[in-house]
Amino acid sequence: MSQAPDRDTYPIKDLEELGRRARNVLAANDLGTMVTAAPNLYPHMWSWDAAFVAAGLSTVSVERALRELDYLLAAQWKSGMIPHIVFSDVPGYFPDIERWGTRGASPEGVQSSGICQPPVHATMLRRIVERATAAGGKDARLADEFTRRTLPGWIDWHAWLRRARGGDGSGLLTIYHGWESGMDNSPRFDGPYSRVNPGKMEPFVRTDTQKVKDHSQRPSDEEYSRYLWLVQQMADVRFDDERLPRVMAFQVKDVFMSAIYAAANEDLAVLAEQFGLPEEAPRLREWAREFRDGVDATVDGRTGLARDRDVLTGEWIGPPTMAGFAPLISTNDQALLDRQLEVFEGPDWTGDPRLAFPLPASTSTTYKGLKPRQYWRGPVWPVMNWYLAHCLRRRGDEKRYRRLREASLAQLMEGHFGEYYEPFTGEPLGSMDQSWTAAVALEWLADPENG
């Protein structure tokens, strides 16, 4: 197993060295069965991390990339849900399998959490397949065999999301925990979380604040007690999809996750047509249309940003977070797209001259609640920069893709592959040697300068 790079040699001098360091990070985090999200702080597999990691791995080895997705899919529940954490044998993470209470619910021999994360998998699989097909030979054969074999599982995953989380006709997916959004403590969820009143729980000792010494970068203990109460509410009903709407104290229509789902349905439809299940494509494209329309309908005419909705109160959720740019992922409305890009490049976002790099922070840089060092409440996330750029490129917007690529590579040259970055200073924060940060670095670098 390769060792993580020596931090005494930072910063990185050139792009070739950046690529070498990124590959070393992924190799050092590779347990063979899974690439853990990060050393020490995140020693397991996270669902949407794994999808991005697989895409990055495919720049080095298509075979290893497909094995990563295979390991994740093997943890799929009978219902079709893909859990947000697949636990490794590495101890010391909280909440662990015992706190989740999922024994007997997940597949035999698998230890997992009981919630999901954004369904970026089909989008990343399509990218891997395109890379493998272009390479030809063994890579193309492996991608063909893998996709034909696993397509039913990915379709079951999308069907579960539509049935269990989006079957009410709103064109929006419901989440029962902020962790399901992937943007755990975003200001998006302050209102819904404020109405979560924890009952009697077992005491807990966090491990994240033992490993990230600057506690201001992490959610508070009060926030964490709410997170754990929601886990207990789900465990109490054995994660039963039919019972959850009647018991959960947190229920949000997640606009960003819904946009990812819309785009992923289009990608899965393409794969279904190419790899032997063309009869599934019309259903997938109908789901894509339904959720694309649902996302578009959330946009606030005043701000130009998309909004989540609190299911329990019926209220729109308005803080200006990067989730407001959900239509950049999925919309077919050119006027809406133009408005979104105008806001995205304006003074509240990437056009703020105070930024270290013109990249989107997780909340507006002029938002009064901005916390530039705290997780999803202000920092810049490299993985989101790449994902949004990828979505823009799919639309043919090469100019903006290139602009985001240049800024992102400049940000990463500091060399730590941080989980997230302070927007005004460029300081890496959170966990270092983060796998999905290294993965998207490889994605940027695999792209030819003028290709």
The catalytic site residues sit at: 184, 419
Beta-bridged to residue 429, according to DSSP, are 420
Q: 3-state SS of 252-270?
A: EEEHHHHHHHHHHHHHHHH
- Which residues are CB-neighbours of 122 under 8 A, at least 6 positions away? 154, 158, 264, 265, 267, 268, 271
State the chain's maximal CA–CA distance in angstroms.
Answer: 59
Q: How far is CA 113 from CA 98, 172, 451, in A?
A: 10, 23, 41
Residues 432, 423: Cα–Cα separation, whole Å = 16
Q: Residue 66, CB half-sphere, CA atoms under 13 Å: how many?
A: 23
Token pair 């997916």 is at which residue? 173
Q: Per-residue b/e over 331-342, b at no fewer than 16 CB within 10 Å?
A: beeeebbebbbe
The strand pair at 173-175 and 252-254 is best described as antiparallel
H runs (alpha helix) in 97-243: 97-100, 121-135, 137-160, 178-181, 190-194, 208-211, 221-236
Torsion of the alpha carbons at 119, 123, 125 and 126, rounded to the nearest 10: 160
Is residue 379 within 8 Å of 371, Cβ to Cβ?
no
Residues 303, 344: Cα–Cα separation, whole Å = 11
CB atoms within 10 A of CB 111: 20
Helix/strand/coil for 426: coil
Is residue 55 within 8 Å of 49, Cβ to Cβ?
no
- Which residues are CB-neighbours of 211 under 8 A, at least 6 positions away? 40, 41, 431
Residues 48, 402: Cα–Cα separation, whole Å = 24
Residues 404, 386: Cα–Cα separation, whole Å = 8
* Tokens coding 414: 């500091």
